[in-house]
């Protein structure tokens, strides 16, 4: 059985040289893949103070059946 579940994932963008959060306001195209290879695309995500989040429907398999 497939269960649709909304999932919110938070990200932090940090500088490689110092580890500090990026202070600029940026936009980014985000693509994520799940373990089954399904792609989730989030165009033009605004990154403010080094943080952003995306929300998507996670398709999970119920292991009780």
Residue 1 has a pLDDT of: 42
What CA–CA distance (Å, rounded) separates 33 from 57? 13
> Per DSSP, which regions of the chain are E strands?
2-12, 26-33, 39-47, 51-61
For the full predicted model, state whether its pTM sits above 0.75: no
Q: Provide the CA 23 distance to its chain's centre, in angstroms.
A: 19
What CA–CA distance (Å, rounded) separates 52 from 46? 7
Is residue 28 within 8 Å of 47, Cβ to Cβ?
yes
Is residue 7 within 8 Å of 59, Cβ to Cβ?
no
pLDDT of 37-47, one tens digit each? 888 899 999 99
pLDDT of 16-64, one tens digit each? 999 999 999 999 999 988 778 888 899 999 999 999 999 988 766 555 5
Residue 36 has a pLDDT of: 81
Q: Where are the domains of the chain?
A: 2-61
């Amino acid at each position: 059985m497939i269960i649709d579940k909304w999932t919110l994932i938070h990200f932090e963008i940090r500088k490689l040289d110092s580890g500090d959060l990026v202070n600029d306001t940026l936009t980014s195209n985000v693509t994520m893949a799940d373990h089954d290879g399904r792609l989730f695309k989030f165009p033009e995500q605004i990154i403010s103070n080094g943080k952003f989040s995306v929300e998507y429907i996670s398709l999970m398999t119920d292991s009780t059946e």
